[in-house]
Amino acid sequence: MTKINLGVGEFPLNGFVNIDVYEGDCVDLVCNVIKLPYEDNSIDECYAGHVIEHLTMEEARKGLKEWLRVLKPGCHIGIVIPEKHLTPKHMLIGDKFPNEPYKEHHSFWDGEMLKKEVKKAGFENIETMNINTYPHLVARPHWQVGIIARKGGEKMKDKKSEEQIEIPKFNEKEYSWCKHEKKVVYNRTKKLHCPICKKLL
């Protein structure tokens, strides 16, 4: 079973591949969340907590379609945002990071807008998230809202354990390449497999 946590920052989730565009102690896989190195229909669960507001609207729409692409039929995504009408202005606008632009906020959302864009991307069974009970939240301030949505189709059976892809933590810069990933992959363990071709990098 493969579950992914998009835009991990400093808040990793146990049992998830923690993904971020910037490397860090909590990051398992360094890549842009709008272009994931996974096959179609290969992910069992996706969580995007406070990540979509760090994208432009054009990028966010691409990201939603990408997240739909990698999810298995019948599986779910949870998306959490700072609600633009409830969030304190200084938090909504955020800080400036000239050298790390994805740490800034580039779009502003409310719950209805999020539902509309998620539906447009092709998700189904879109529901408002219960912020008080959803398990993956690291904090529960009143100004955040979220949705849970499902990829259409019948849920696929899990792959056999020996066929599953395990992506270990790595932080030191040792460079490897794969024809499916056109950029550098940081690989400390020498045991990282390409999620597409399963080649040992």
Q: What angle do CA 178, 69, 15 make, to 5 degrees?
A: 75
pLDDT for position 199: 55
Give the whole-number percent of the chain exceeding pLDDT 90: 64
Q: Provide the pLDDT confidence category of residue 181 given band limits of 50, 70 and 90.
A: very low
pLDDT for position 166: 45
The string over 35-73, giving b where at least 16 C-beta atoms fall within 10 Å of a residue's C-beta and e elsewhere, is: ebbbeeebbbbbbbbbbbbbbeeebbbbbbebbbbbbbe
For strands 71-82 and 124-128, give the pairing: unpaired
> Is the model's pLDDT at 177 over the cut of 50?
no
pLDDT for position 193: 54
171 contacts 188 by C-beta, under 8 angstroms: yes
Averaged pLDDT for residues 79-89: 93
Closest residue by Cα to residue 154 from 46, 72, 44: 72
CATH number of 3-167: 3.40.50.150
Give the domain ranges of the chain: 3-167
Mean pLDDT of the chain: 84
Q: Provide the pLDDT confidence category of residue 100 given band limits of 50, 70 and 90.
A: confident
Question: What DSSP line would sit under 51-108, residue for residue?
Answer: -GGGS-HHHHHHHHHHHHHHEEEEEEEEEEEEBTTTS-HHHHH----TT-GGGS----
pTM reported for the whole predicted model: 0.75
Q: Provide the pLDDT confidence category of residue 173 given band limits of 50, 70 and 90.
A: very low
Query: What is the per-residue pLDDT across 54-75, written as a single tens digit (0 to 9) for each?
Result: 999 999 999 999 999 999 999 9
Measured between alpha carbons, how far is 183 from 192 in angstroms, rounded to an integer? 15
Closest residue by Cα to residue 78 from 41, 120, 21, 133: 133
Averaged pLDDT for residues 4-24: 95
Structure tokens belonging to residue 82: 């700072």
